[in-house]
Each structure stands twice: as structure tokens, then as C-alpha cells.
């Protein structure tokens, strides 16, 4: 199994889960400085000593290096999670998204074309739904109005995968993640940022005056879904597959939109202290609500995410206190 972005939040958890299930895992990551590299290295330190884990410090835009890795390791499945993440960051650093999310994904597709794999699973995002006002979001909804460059690159990934599935028969599954959170999470995400600010006595910014809803999805639910999907490469013409190509898209969300105020209240309860909130207008590129329809995922895998926001946030806060040594 090859996992790209193995030092990232989801990639690390997936690698650990696969290793625990007896798989041989090769991870790669470029360890970029989008956020604290120390956190990425700390994640790798948790799985690095495992005898069935190997790691390559490699950028997915290094076409030759990536193809050489697949030629040497010969994975039967690739889970491609490496990407430039973040909706707001894409407003100021658009070239990073073109490089990592478009050029990098092309490198992954070309490597899988040169050295065929049984299944390519790749990360998309709920951001592809953009201005879609129909809820819950379903995989077959038109996704033609992304509100951020990040969302646009992820939709482009889906179209690229569809093309390679059609032309070269690469079995591809795209997974649209909905606001993933949990232990070892990214510092730029709300759960981490709010927890840190509250503990430091700083004000937190609450956008759209608190009238936001997110389909928060706990990390263990995400990895469970991914592990089950590994064994389910799509067949051409199968239920949910796009046209005659072996390509399918799944929502991975908790199918329960949570109000931002309830999310903050869960953090306050876990911390035992109140947040100082500053209410602000909606930010450019943001959407007021996300809500995943996970019927397709449930039919295929027999599983649907179900962790409550209170339980998930409590587990995150417990990890945060331990990792940062915060009483």
C-alpha cells in the first residue's frame, strides 16, 4: 500500500490504521512548511519504527522519483492524500494549489499508468459543492460553481481521474471529505485553532456571525471508511460509477450538519472554560453550510460515520493537552 501525504493528518492516521491491520505501507510526503513541520515529524515518529512501514521524503511533482518509487515498491493500491489544503490559503497562494493539486495529481496518475495498480483512491473535498444550495449534498449533484481555487482544483482532480479511468482502465475512487477533525489534526483547522486560542485567553473569530453549519467528521470514522474502500475498486458501469469508466466518487461525512455555536460549546465543555467570541461576516470562498449524503458509502461498505461532535471534540482536546503539555 502506498499512502501519499503520510505525514499529514489523514495520511498519518490511515497509515497507522493499515499497519495495525497487518498491511505493508510505504508513505511519502514532502514535509512542506504550510504548517508546523514539527507536528508532521511527530506524527511520523509514531509510525516510523514499525517494521512494515517505510518512508520516502518525496514531492509528488517529482515525476521521475514517483515513478521510480512505484516501480520499486509495486503497490497494489495507492491512497493519494498529499495536497495543498485550505480554502482561505488558496486566496493568497494560488500557485501552490496548481502545483500540488493539479501537477502533483497528474504525476500520481501517470505513475499509476506506468505501473498499474488495482485501486487508486484519491482525496477530493466537500469544497467542490461550492454554491450548491441543495442539501444534503449528493455525489451526483452538479458541481459547476466552486467558490475557491482549492475547490476548483479538487473538482479538476475528479475530472482528471475520470479521464484516466476511461483511457487507461485505472480503477479510481474519489473521496469527498467533510471537515475532518480529531487528534493530530491540522493547526489551521477550527478545532485546533479554537482550542489553542481559548486556552491562551485569546478571542476567536466566528464567521458569518455564527450562522454556519459544518458536517464535522471524526478522523477514526474517515480511516474506517477508507480501509473498507481499499478492497472495493470500482468496476466499469457499476452502481455509482461514472459512465463506462471504472471511476466512482463517495462522500465521507458524518451526515449531520452541526451549528458552529454547538461546535464551540463542545470545545468549551471539554476545556472547562468559555470562549471570548468575535462575530464577523462571511469570508470570501466560504460556504454557510455543508451536509453529506452518505448513502452511497453506506451501501458499498456497510459503514457510515457516526461519532458525535461532543465525543470527537473531547478526544481531540485530551490529545491536545497531552501533546502540548497543557494542564
Q: Look up 63 and say whether it is catalytic.
A: no
Three-state secondary structure of the chain: CEEECCCCHHHHHHHHHHHHCCCCEEEEECCCCCCCHHHHHHHHHHHCCCCCEEEEECCCCCHHHHHHHHHHHCCCEEEECCCCCCCCHHHHCHHHHHHHHHHHHHHHHHHHHHCCCCEEEEEEEHHHHCCCCCCCECCCCCCCCCCCHHHHHHHHHHHHHHHHHHHHCCCEEEEEECCEECCCCCCCCHHHHHHHHHHCCCEEEEHHHHCCEECCEEHHHHHHHHHHHHCCCCCCCCCCCCCCCCEEEEEECCCCCEEHHHHHHHHHHHHCCCCEEEECCCCCCCCCECCECCHHHHHHHCCCCCCCHHHHHHHHHHHHHHHHCCC
Q: Which one of 35, 97, 129, 150 is the catalytic residue? A: 150
Q: Which residues carry out catalysis?
A: 150
Amino acid at each position: 500500500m502506498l499512502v501519499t501525504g503520510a505525514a499529514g493528518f489523514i495520511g498519518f492516521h490511515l497509515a497507522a490504521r493499515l499497519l495495525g491491520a497487518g498491511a505493508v505501507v510505504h508513505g511519502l510526503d514532502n514535509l512542506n512548511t504550510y504548517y508546523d513541520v514539527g507536528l508532521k515529524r511527530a506524527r511520523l515518529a509514531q509510525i516510523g519504527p514499525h517494521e512494515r512501514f517505510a518512508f520516502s521524503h518525496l514531492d509528488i511533482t517529482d515525476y521521475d522519483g514517483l515513478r521510480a518509487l512505484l516501480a520499486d515498491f509495486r503497490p497494489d493500491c495507492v491512497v493519494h492524500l498529499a495536497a495543498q489544503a485550505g480554502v482561505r490559503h488558496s486566496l493568497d497562494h494560488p500557485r501552490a494549489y496548481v502545483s500540488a493539486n493539479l501537477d502533483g495529481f497528474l504525476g500520481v496518475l501517470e505513475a499509476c499508468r506506468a505501473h498499474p495498480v488495482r485501486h487508486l483512491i484519491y482525496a477530493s473535498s466537500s469544497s467542490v459543492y461550492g454554491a450548491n444550495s441543495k442539501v444534503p449534498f449528493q455525489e451526483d449533484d452538479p458541481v459547476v460553481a466552486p467558490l475557491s481555487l482549492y475547490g476548483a482544483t479538487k473538482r479538476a482532480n475528479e475530472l482528471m481521474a475520470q479521464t484516466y479511468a476511461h483511457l487507461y482502465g485505472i480503477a479510481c475512487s474519489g473521496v469527498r471529505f467533510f471537515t475532518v477533525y480529531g487528534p493530530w489534526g491540522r493547526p489551521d483547522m477550527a478545532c485546533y485553532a479554537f482550542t489553542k486560542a481559548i486556552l491562551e485567553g485569546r478571542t476567536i473569530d466566528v464567521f458569518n456571525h455564527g450562522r454556519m453549519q459544518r458536517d464535522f467528521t471524526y478522523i477514526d470514522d474517515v480511516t474506517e471508511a477508507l480501509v473498507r474502500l481499499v478492497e472495493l475498486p470500482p468496476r466499469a458501469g457499476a452502481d455509482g460509477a461514472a459512465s463506462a469508466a471504472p471511476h466512482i466518487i463517495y462522500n465521507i461525512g458524518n451526515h449531520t450538519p452541526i451549528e458552529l455555536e454547538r461546535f464551540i460549546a463542545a470545545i468549551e465543555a471539554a476545556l472547562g472554560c468559555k470562549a471570548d467570541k468575535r462575530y464577523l461576516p462571511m469570508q470570501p470562498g466560504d460556504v454557510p453550510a455543508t451536509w453529506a449524503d452518505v448513502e452511497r458509502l453506506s451501501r458499498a461498505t456497510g459503514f457510515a460515520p457516526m461519532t458525535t461532535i461532543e465525543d470527537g471534540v473531547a478526544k481531540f482536546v485530551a490529545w491536545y493537552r497531552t501533546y502540548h503539555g497543557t494542564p
